[in-house]
């Protein structure tokens, strides 16, 4: 933080410090097997969703002879109600879900950080107004509102869906960011920046937020799990116009086609459930390992 | 920054509302009530503008639909009049009057009439299903709260024991899997693969044909039908309470007053309940209120999966049939009931924690 005032870091320092940080971070993580498993899970699903589709041929031909096949070598996860390969759908079905989750988490974190820290630093009437709006959005049952909004607006693009999700879920993070910044702003280095008259923008984005990096990362991950929950929820209810296929749509069809009640279709239904649950579990365990690493006092043990 | 007129600074004797009301609003009870009222007002206003003002809004859609379905025999004005009565909005009046009358009828719990079953008021439709949702969500939430608090306290006291490991890991596992996925898996394994539970018999809020009343057979039937939703709300919330209570207890155990109580020779049981437990549970009460909203929302999916006749299922039916007054009414009434639950929790909180009860305390 002092470097911002004293001297600009050299290029070598700039490149080395994140690299060293990453090595140190991985070393810390490797001592927490559950957190490491979560981290590897996230890496695995990101590769599966964004890289694997580039190498695997997309199979979309229904084959009426192969309906609800149990797992075999040709179809490692069996087939669905149209005889399509389930594994192929799992590989191609993660991209949209994860993209929406990442965009929604990014936008909601951005809203929460910007307004939360501004409210805390500026204080006064602006703070009161922001806190009031936050408290109100926090109490509204979000999924009910999301269902109503989705029914009226019919979100056809996934980016639009992500924006709606972000607009509904920033509030709890904003409250925490505000509380965090309120305690940080009394620190000496913030006082120093203030006495140098470096301006609100500098104080918030160059002095306070960098110290909250780990905190923000944790909440970004948690925001992703929240966005995934709501997103797959409304897909499951059939409120997102169907186009293409993803894990949520697979489940929606499995339910709608009554696949739930065929004993042989177990793997077809279980596959998207496992994919979604494993992503959620990986995110949650990784987030709690991060919390453990960066804030060991909070968790105990 | 503050927009205080210069004049009021010079004339100090003038009546200053802040002096009288400022202190009053700092009182937590008054703040809680104000917050609740504000929340309801904002939701209704947003709903009004969403329904009325958006391009391609439900009102416009309904007018178009009326004209088309009558093959042009209804004029635009007539169609608008019909839509007006359906939405309980006078569409020819100026916007602010529409808004005021919308608010006015809402005060009388009148949120229009259903499109489909003509003449049925939205309020009566919702009142028929709301109790079932509140009953199942409330039971599941309270059960998980009580059990979770107990297990969390136990886990914190036996920190790093086998019990602690099992309870904390199990808790975080179950709470990070979406509740609707657990619901589907229950059907899949208990109903289809093992054939232990007959899920088709559990559809609905109670067996149709039974006379609702307070006799044992009916109560048993209601519990049978609500068993699955309650199990889901219980299971998926349990982990959250265990983990929160565990960490709250751990930090309470480090407090000086616990050491002081031990030094005074108080019994372990008394320290556990009156000192550690009581202080650890306080912050969870506010979380309880927030999770009411979360579960009522999530109930929509759970009720759909188990075909349980609650608000969520009704909402989805209305969405499918494009019955906008019912959608609007459900959004409003569930928000109001969640806000009221929040208010109750806020009031309970200031009752439980005497430090908050006084004006000027650490409100919020």
DSSP B119-142: T-BHHHHHHHHHHHHHHHHHHHHH
The answer to whether residues A70 and A78 touch, using CB atoms and an 8 Å cutoff, is: yes
Residue B319: C-alpha distances to residues A238, B85, B322 (Å): 10, 20, 5
Please give the Cα distance from B243 to A81 (Å, whole number): 40
Q: Which residue has the tokens 């057979």?
A: B217
Residue A237 has its nearest CB partner, among B301, B322, B324, at B301
Minimum Cα–Cα distance from A227: chain B residue: B178
> What pLDDT score was predicted for residue A14?
63
Instruction: Please list every residue in chain A whose beta carbon sits closer than 8 Å to the beta carbon of residue B1.
Output: 124-125
> What pLDDT score was predicted for residue A236?
87
Rounded to two decimals, the pTM is: 0.80
**Minimum distance, in Å, between the CA of residue A132 and any CA atom of chain B:** 8
Q: Are the Cβ atoms of A281 and B315 closer than 8 angstroms?
A: no
Residue B289: C-alpha distances to residues A242, B26, B30, B283 (Å): 35, 21, 18, 11
Q: Are the Cβ atoms of A139 and B342 closer than 8 angstroms?
A: yes
Instruction: Please list every residue in chain B whose beta carbon sits closer than 8 Å to the beta carbon of residue A229.
Output: 178
Angle at CA of residue A279, ends B305 and B148, nearest 5°: 65
Q: In the structure encoding, which two tokens stand for residue A138, read together?
A: 């926090």
0.85 surpassed by complex ipTM = no
Please give the Cα distance from B26 to B29 (Å, whole number): 9
Minimum Cα–Cα distance from B42: chain A residue: A136
Instruction: Mutation target for B interface from A148, A153, A262, A291: give the one with most B CBs within 10 A.
Output: A148
Instruction: Please list every residue in chain A whose beta carbon sits closer than 8 Å to the beta carbon of residue B42.
Output: 136
Q: Are the Cβ atoms of A143 and B298 closer than 8 angstroms?
A: yes
Confidence category of residue A181, pLDDT binned at 50, 70, 90:
confident
Instruction: Mutation target for B interface from A129, A138, A143, A227: give the one with most B CBs within 10 A.
Output: A143
Average pLDDT over residues B59-65: 74
> What pLDDT score was predicted for residue A110?
92
Average pLDDT over residues B40-67: 73
**Minimum distance, in Å, between the CA of residue A142 and any CA atom of chain B:** 6
Per-residue pLDDT at B135 exceeds 70:
yes
Please give the Cα distance from A232 to A280 (Å, whole number): 12
Average pLDDT over residues A290-301: 63
> What pLDDT score was predicted for residue A275?
92
Identify the residue with better confidence: A68 or A227: A227
Confidence category of residue B194, pLDDT binned at 50, 70, 90:
confident
Residue B334 has its nearest CB partner, among A141, A149, A232, at A141
Residue B185 has its nearest CB partner, among A142, A228, A273, at A273
Tens of pLDDT along B209-227? 777 777 777 888 888 888 8
Instruction: Please list every residue in chain B whose beta carbon sits closer than 8 Å to the beta carbon of residue A280.
Output: 176-178
- Name the DSSP letter for residue B362: S
Contacts of A129 (CB under 8 A, 6+ apart): none
Minimum Cα–Cα distance from A297: chain B residue: B251
Mean pLDDT of chain B, nearest integer: 78
Average pLDDT over residues B82-89: 70
Minimum Cα–Cα distance from B295: chain A residue: A141
Residue B304 has its nearest CB partner, among A138, A149, A237, at A237
Per-residue pLDDT at A80 exceeds 70:
yes
> What pLDDT score was predicted for residue B8?
44
Confidence category of residue A111, pLDDT binned at 50, 70, 90:
very high
Please give the Cα distance from B291 to B282 (Å, whole number): 15
Per-residue pLDDT at B69 exceeds 60:
yes
In this complex, how many residue pairs, one in chain A and one in chain B, have their CB atoms less than 8 Å apart? 147
Average pLDDT over residues A10-27: 72
Minimum Cα–Cα distance from A285: chain B residue: B172
Contacts of B8 (CB under 8 A, 6+ apart): B14, B16
Q: Are the Cβ atoms of A239 and B1 closer than 8 angstroms?
A: no
> What pLDDT score was predicted for residue A252?
87
The answer to whether residues B159 and B313 touch, using CB atoms and an 8 Å cutoff, is: no
Tens of pLDDT along B327-349? 888 888 888 878 887 788 778 77
Residue A10: C-alpha distances to residues A14, A17, A18, B149 (Å): 6, 11, 13, 53
Q: Are the Cβ atoms of A147 and B342 closer than 8 angstroms?
A: no
Residue B319 has its nearest CB partner, among A147, A280, A300, at A147
> What pLDDT score was predicted for residue A106?
94
Instruction: Mutation target for B interface from A129, A142, A147: give the one with most B CBs within 10 A.
Output: A147
Instruction: Please list every residue in chain A whose beta carbon sits closer than 8 Å to the beta carbon of residue B38.
Output: 132, 136
Average pLDDT over residues A225-252: 85
Q: In the structure encoding, which two tokens stand for residue A277, read together?
A: 């649950």
> What pLDDT score was predicted for residue A8?
62
Average pLDDT over residues B238-242: 90
Confidence category of residue A301, pLDDT binned at 50, 70, 90:
very low
Mean pLDDT of chain A, nearest integer: 81
Average pLDDT over residues A182-186: 82
Please give the Cα distance from B173 to A284 (Å, whole number): 9
Q: Are the Cβ atoms of B2 and A281 closer than 8 angstroms?
A: no
Helix axes A213-236, A142-153, angle to 10 degrees: 60
Question: DSSP for A145-164?
Answer: HHHHHHHHH---SHHHHHHH
Instruction: Please list every residue in chain B whose beta carbon sits closer than 8 Å to the beta carbon of residue A124.
Output: 1-2
**Minimum distance, in Å, between the CA of residue A287 and any CA atom of chain B:** 11
Residue B192 has its nearest CB partner, among A151, A225, A261, at A261
Per-residue pLDDT at B78 exceeds 70:
yes
Tens of pLDDT along B261-319? 888 888 888 888 888 888 888 878 777 877 777 777 778 889 888 888 888 888 888 88
The share of chain B scoring above pLDDT 90, in percent, equals 6
The answer to whether residues A143 and B297 touch, using CB atoms and an 8 Å cutoff, is: yes
């Amino acid at each position: 933080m002092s470097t911002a005032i004293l001297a600009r870091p050299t290029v070598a320092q700039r490149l080395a410090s994140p690299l060293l940080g990453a090595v140190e971070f991985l070393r810390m993580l490797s001592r927490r097997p559950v957190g490491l498993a979560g981290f590897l899970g996230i890496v695995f699903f990101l590769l599966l969703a964004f890289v694997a589709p580039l190498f695997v041929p997309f199979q979309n031909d229904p084959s009426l002879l192969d309906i609800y096949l149990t797992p075999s070598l040709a179809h490692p996860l069996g087939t669905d109600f149209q005889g399509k390969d389930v594994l192929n759908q799992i590989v191609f079905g993660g991209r949209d879900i994860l993209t929406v989750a990442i965009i929604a988490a990014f936008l909601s974190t951005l809203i929460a950080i910007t307004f939360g820290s501004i409210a805390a630093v500026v204080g006064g009437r602006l703070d009161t107004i922001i806190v009031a709006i936050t408290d109100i959005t926090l109490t509204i049952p979000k999924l009910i509102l999301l269902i109503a909004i989705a029914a009226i607006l019919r979100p056809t693009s996934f980016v639009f869906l992500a924006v709606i999700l972000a607009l509904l879920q920033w509030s709890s993070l904003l409250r925490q960011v505000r509380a965090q910044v309120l305690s940080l702003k009394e620190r000496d280095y913030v006082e120093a920046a203030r006495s140098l008259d470096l301006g609100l923008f500098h104080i918030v984005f160059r002095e306070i937020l960098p110290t909250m990096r780990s905190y923000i990362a944790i909440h970004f991950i948690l925001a992703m799990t929240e966005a995934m929950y709501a997103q797959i929820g409304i897909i499951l209810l059939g409120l997102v116009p169907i186009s293409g296929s993803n894990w949520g749509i697979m489940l929606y069809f499995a339910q709608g086609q009554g696949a739930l009640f065929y004993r042989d279709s177990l793997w077809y239904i279980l596959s998207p459930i496992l994919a979604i649950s494993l992503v959620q579990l990986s995110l949650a365990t990784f987030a709690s390992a991060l919390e453990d690493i960066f804030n060991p006092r909070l968790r105990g043990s | 920054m503050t927009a205080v007129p210069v004049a009021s600074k010079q004339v100090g004797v003038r009546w200053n509302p802040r002096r009288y009301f400022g202190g009053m609003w700092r009182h937590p009870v008054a703040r809680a009530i104000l917050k609740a009222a504000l929340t309801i007002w904002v939701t209704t206003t947003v709903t009004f503008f969403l329904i009325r003002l958006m391009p391609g809004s439900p009102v416009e859609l309904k007018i178009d639909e009326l004209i088309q379905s009558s093959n042009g025999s209804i004029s635009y004005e007539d169609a608008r009049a019909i839509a007006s009565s359906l939405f309980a909005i006078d569409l020819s009046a100026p916007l602010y009057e529409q808004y005021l009358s919308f608010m006015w009828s809402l005060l009388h719990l009148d949120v229009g009439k259903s499109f489909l079953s003509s003449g049925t008021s939205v309020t009566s439709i919702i009142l028929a299903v709301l109790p079932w949702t509140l009953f199942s969500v409330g039971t599941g939430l309270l059960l998980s709260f009580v059990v979770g608090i107990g297990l969390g306290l136990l886990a914190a006291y036996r920190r790093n024991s086998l019990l602690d490991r099992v309870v904390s890991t199990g808790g975080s596992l179950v709470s990070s899997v979406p509740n609707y996925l657990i619901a589907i898996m229950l059907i899949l394994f208990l109903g289809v693969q093992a054939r232990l539970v007959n899920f088709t018999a559990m559809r609905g809020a109670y067996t149709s044909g039974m006379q609702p009343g307070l006799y044992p057979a009916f109560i048993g039937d209601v519990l049978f039908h609500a068993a699955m939703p309650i199990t889901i709300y219980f299971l998926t919330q349990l982990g959250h309470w265990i983990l929160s209570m565990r960490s709250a207890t751990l930090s309470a155990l480090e407090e000086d007053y616990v050491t002081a109580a031990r030094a005074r020779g108080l019994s372990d049981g008394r320290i556990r309940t009156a000192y550690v437990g009581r202080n650890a549970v306080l912050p969870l009460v506010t979380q309880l209120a927030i999770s009411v909203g979360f579960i009522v929302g999530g109930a929509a999916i759970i009720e759909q999966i188990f075909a349980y006749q609650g608000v969520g299922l009704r909402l989805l039916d209305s969405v499918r049939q494009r019955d906008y007054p019912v959608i609007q009414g459900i959004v409003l009434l569930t928000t109001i009931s969640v806000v009221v639950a929040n208010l109750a929790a806020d009031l309970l909180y200031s009752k439980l924690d005497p430090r908050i009860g006084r004006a000027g305390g650490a409100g919020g």
